[in-house]
Amino acid sequence: MSMPWHRETQYHAWVPIMTGCNNFCTYCIVPYVRGREKSRPFEEIVDEVTGLVRQGVREITLLGQNVNSYGRDLFGKPRFADLLRAVGDTGVERIFFTSSHPKDLLPETIDAMAETPAVMPQLHLAVQSGSTRILKEMNRRYTREDYLGLVDRIRNRMPDIALSTDIIVGFPGETEEDFEQTLSLAETVRYAQAYTFIYSKRAGTPAAEIDDPTPHEVILERFNRLVKVIETTAHEYNQGELHTVVPALIEGTSKKNDAVLLGKSPKNQTVHAPIPEGYSIDQLVGKIVDVDVDVAKTWYLSGSVVGEPR
């Protein structure tokens, strides 16, 4: 199967590991347009990452609609946990991955994440709703309790992991009680980041056939309440980085100030720091610098570079 990597920069590459989806969430068109899941051969992926490392790539993102089900269609059924460990052995310094369906995140994958140094302490775990009733209508195949139990297991192995998520507000038939369940789940999990959406119909999906009398103004008000909770938890999470030293992979300069570095932390946080004296931006892009954090805002950290770039 041809799924070539995409090299965004000299130091980062996107590496597809599979295509398609078998889940058929009722709001999603992907399984209808991309077909069923097809995994790339295990050795092909590992060899590809090995080659990228030789070319100077330091960070990769493994891509799939549901990476947790990787390998189920392959001979020998290698699992995503096996792939994480093997890719970690290539010498790549940073591994991220997306997307991760909660129902398929196995204990051995959590162990591989915790035990593979190159796997970054960040996980995008889309919940979509905190209401078990709505999750059933979405065909997500887990309950609110299942999800919260999974979060507990993840944090038992990786206490400081940064969790992000996707949440849909206004799915057809969502009541105030359903929404309150979503709100309370977000408050319980304390996400570091979240992508929040107001539901929109996708033609050809089962959810598009459901009539919903809920006024748009009500949905918008709920959405704004959720955004406030996410902003609060994201700010609290970043506050935990104050007065710590964060290794940031430098991507360029701030859009607002070309004298300020723009980097990414191991937890996928945006990091800013003034370009240190004696260096140009060209010398620092693709390098990892240690930033002593003295400011922690909702969506970014900032501080000053300490030590030498590497």
> pLDDT tens, 65-116?
999 999 999 988 899 999 999 999 999 999 999 999 999 999 999 999 999 9
Domain assignment present for 164: yes
Mean pLDDT, residues 202-218 taken together: 95
> pLDDT tens, 147-197?
999 999 999 999 999 999 999 999 999 999 999 999 999 999 999 999 999
Q: Residue 9: what pLDDT?
A: 80
Q: Residue 286: what pLDDT?
A: 97
Q: Residue 164: what pLDDT?
A: 98
Which CATH number fits the domain that encloses residue 249? 2.40.50
Task: Give the C-alpha separation, 186 to 199, whole Å.
Answer: 18
Q: By the 8 A CB rule, do 181 and 131 touch?
A: yes
Q: By the 8 A CB rule, do 102 and 62 touch?
A: no
Rg (the chain; Cα; Å): 20
Domain assignment present for 38: yes
Rounded to 5 degrees, φ, ψ at 195 are: -105, 110
Strand partners, 290: 247, 306
Q: Residue 77: what pLDDT?
A: 85
DSSP conformation class of 210: -
Domain closes at, from 239, 263, 279: 239
H helix runs in the chain, sequence order: 30-34, 42-54, 80-88, 107-115, 132-138, 144-157, 176-189, 216-239, 281-284
Task: Give the C-alpha separation, 60 to 82, whole Å.
Answer: 17
Domain assignment present for 1: no
Peptide bond into 99 cis (omega under 30): yes
* 170 and 234 co-located in one domain: yes
Number of domains in the chain: 2
* 203 and 259 co-located in one domain: no
Range of the domain at 272: 245-306
* 13 and 85 co-located in one domain: yes
Task: Give the C-alpha separation, 310 to 284, whole Å.
Answer: 9
* 124 and 257 co-located in one domain: no
